[in-house]
Structure 1
Amino acid sequence: MTEPSKQRRKAGLIPAAALTLALLLAGCQPGPPQPPPSTPPGTSGPPETSSPTGTSSPPPGPSEPAGRSVHFTAQGDIGVSTGARKVLDTIAGLRPELNLALGDFSYKAGIEQEFCDMVTGKLGADFPYQVVTGNHESDGHDGDIANIVKCLPNRLPGLQGDYGTQWYVDYPEQNPLVRIIMVSPGIDFHDGKPLDYSENSERWRWTEEALDGAGPKGIPWTVVGMHTPCLGVGRYDCQAGREFTNMLMDKKVDLVLTGHDHTYQRTHQLGVGIPCPNLVPNTFSTGCIADPDAGMEQGAGTVFVTVGTGGVGLYEVNDDDPEARYFASWSGRNRDPALGTLDVTATAGRLSARFVPADGYTFTDAFTIEGK
């Protein structure tokens, strides 16, 4: 399929002899097990050791407050190559509860079952490998999302919507910490036309309602996943749509995940308001940057991450792109190239994410959003 170009926390005094005796006695008693040392928040690094299967042991992730947590991975643009298998090995080593697959799977019609067998062979037949379509399978030209959905079905209870195309789920099902919303703007379907996500359209209103519904249920975090990005320093322009992207920012979505561009790109926290009435693609406005640090606060804006690093060949990145100053970190074929996955952990009070490279790559990135 031809794709358009353009294309970030008194002891009392006792006699010395008694103290000495107490210490000697204590030394003869077995002590309690000692916990392993913790990792400072935000620490990340390249793969350290190799397991017997050749999978790299990933670096320890950011420290998390005690309590319930949700752990998931996300990436898109996968294929059935050695690179895809390396990324799946990385995901398996991380042991997430679920994975968000951001579209573009087999890259060839008729081999969807081969793709699914590869995934289940690495992650297990019942693992929640949750999909949303990419442009390569949306219209049947290089695969069919209907076939992918059939061999990689939904594994999460309570899912609402049309799985594979437009759906949301609260996770975990009881006392959820994250509402995950997956949508499909900006790509063609079987009729040769994109689904309508224009302002006030049915799909726009569905997305708004899904976002607005998280707060009343006391769900701390909202994560939106879709194949096409809007901002980028890679190959593509704003295929997701300017108005739709601004709506996500206006709704203060915490994290937006995309694929399509075969690169890793992470923005600063971006927000709309008085300093930035709306975000305009292909330009830059300082007022749209709500927080330029890797440690951010919830409610100030949205972090956009493109993770098109699931296995296929990488694209180049352009440091001179007009939108580059919106980005905190990027990697592509011509700069710190890496296949890998985004690794996300959410608690009631913090969302932490890091890019974990597949075996043989060293690029990393990490950021946190502190809850309200």
Structure 2
Amino acid sequence: MTATVLLTLFLTSFLTGCMPATTQLPPAATQLSPAATPGGSETATPPVTPAPSGTAGVSAAAIQSVHFTAQGDIGVGKDAKRVLDTIAGLKPQLNLALGDFTYQAGIEKEFCAMVAEKLGADFPYELVTGNHESDGHDGDIRNFVQCLPNRLPGLTGEYGTQWYVDVPQQNPLVRIIMVSPGIKFHDGNTLDYSKNSPRWRWTAAAVDGAESQKIPWTVVGMHTPCLSIGKYDCLAGDDLTNMLMEKKVDLVLSGHNHSYQRTHQLSLREGCTALVPGRFSEACITDSDEAMVKGAGTVFATSGLGGAGLHQVKEDDSEIRYFAAWSGQNRRAAFGTLDVTATPDRLDATFVPAKGSSFRDSFIIEKK
């Protein structure tokens, strides 16, 4: 054997020994399926909507914080684009779109293209339907979920209507649960979230699953609010709202009112055995400053300033004493987004105005 051949064999053996071993990724976290599917039987397993490739960054086990934005009532005009620019500048890992997207039928692809242009084609812009697209009269949620598909791994349920996901998928910090109470669909029926209905039990089981898995934070989102100092009453229903308060969900997000409305921390307890829409009870408030303690209650935040025309807030509303901050057409008018960061011990939230607006609100919920 020649000296050249011997030298080649030696170098090949040496370099192969120096190459790093292939890293074995840990298996995906097991999803806890709630006890009832959306509108189905109590024992069936909800369908899982798979995420496209390219979302591994959101599910990495090393993530120590989750950063997301949330807003509804968007449209396709200049104010919607300013809000999207604001979101892009904040650089969140994902966005929760809380319903009411185009306010016009047949332009779903235009809306999706606008989002993709501002935030990127693969950005997790996660949808739940509003009333304008649920029955197809101002767009169709079935079209929106095609051009803005789920991009989070491990999502369980019916994307666009009723689903939950843990973020990140491994060692999650936040369980996000999105539901659709008080909204009519193509068959003319409003989805039933009354007490002990299949959808009520599905939501309750999703909340309980987060607690049993010791996920630090639980966030529930929907289009319709219950507590309101805007033009709508309790469309989400007091049964669902009281259940979320009883289970001390950390943060409940909504849109529908084209305004920003954020409550104090609220809870069911002695003197407040149930929240009654349209009636104020001091006993339901557990904390009224901007620094709150996890487990003491629930904060409700309507973030409906995504770009559509503003609504007025009613400062003479009987429920206004539940609220810590608000913005609307007639009071500190603004467009913008709620910006939320969750770490193992703290949830920070700030309303960030779009360019041309100045209203801000901030609050924290912290483990003690």
- Higher relative contact order, structure no. (Cα contacts within 8 Å, ≥ 6 residues apart): 1
AA at the equivalent of 1:208? A
Which amino acid letter does the alignment assign opposite residue 300 of structure 2? F
Separation of aligned partners in 1, 2:96 and 2:104: 21
SS, match of residue 84 in structure 1: helix
| CA deviation profile, 1:225-258 (whole Å, cap 9, x unmatched) | 0000000111100000011100000011000000
Q: For 2:225, what is the secondary structure of its paired residue?
A: coil
Residue of 85, 91, 98 corresponding to 1:95? 91
Pairs within 5 Å for 1:54-203: 68-203=64-199
Q: Which runs of 5+ in 1 are unaligned?
A: 1-66
Indicate the SS of the match to 2:212: coil
Identity of aligned residues (%): 71
TM-score, normalization by structure 1: 0.82
Take 2:183 and 2:214, find their aligned partners in 1: how far apart are those partners? 33
Q: Secondary structure at the match of 2:210?
A: coil
Structure 2: distance between partners of 1:198 and 1:326: 23
Instruction: Map 1:356-371; keep pairs closer than 5 Å.
Output: 356-371=352-367
Which residue in 2 is equivalent to 1:334? 330
Structure-to-structure mapping, 1:184-223, within 5 angstroms? 184-223=180-219
Q: Once the two structures are superposed, what CA deviation does each residue of 1:106-139 show, in whole Å capped at 9, x if it has no partner?
A: 1111000000000000000000000000000000
Looking at structure 1, the residues matched to 195 and 273 of structure 2 have their Cα atoms a distance apart, in angstroms, of 16
**Paired residue secondary structure (1:287):** helix
Indicate the SS of the match to 1:96: coil
Distance in 1 between residues matched to 2:367 and 2:338, nearest whole Å: 20
Letter in 1 for 2:249: V
Corresponding residue number in structure 1 for 2:287: 291
Alpha-carbon distance, 1:193 to partner: 1.4
* Residues 187-217 of structure 1, C-alpha deviations (whole Å, 9 max, x = no match): 1101111111111111111101100001121
- Offset of 1:336 from its aligned partner? 0.2
Gaps of 5+ in 2: 1-62
For the Cα contact (< 8 Å) 2:193–2:239, is it kept in 1? Answer: no
The CA deviation at 1:275 is 2.1
> CA–CA distance in 1 between the matches of 2:188 and 2:341?
38
Superposition RMSD on alpha carbons, in Å?
0.7
Equivalent residue of 1:153, what SS?
coil
Q: Give the structure 2 partner of residue 348 of structure 1.
A: 344
3-state SS of 2:189 partner? coil
Aligned length: 306
Q: How does 1:234-253 map to 2 (within 5 A)?
A: 234-253=230-249
Counterpart-to-counterpart distance in 2, 1:216 and 1:304: 23
CA distance in 1, matches of 2:276, 2:212: 31
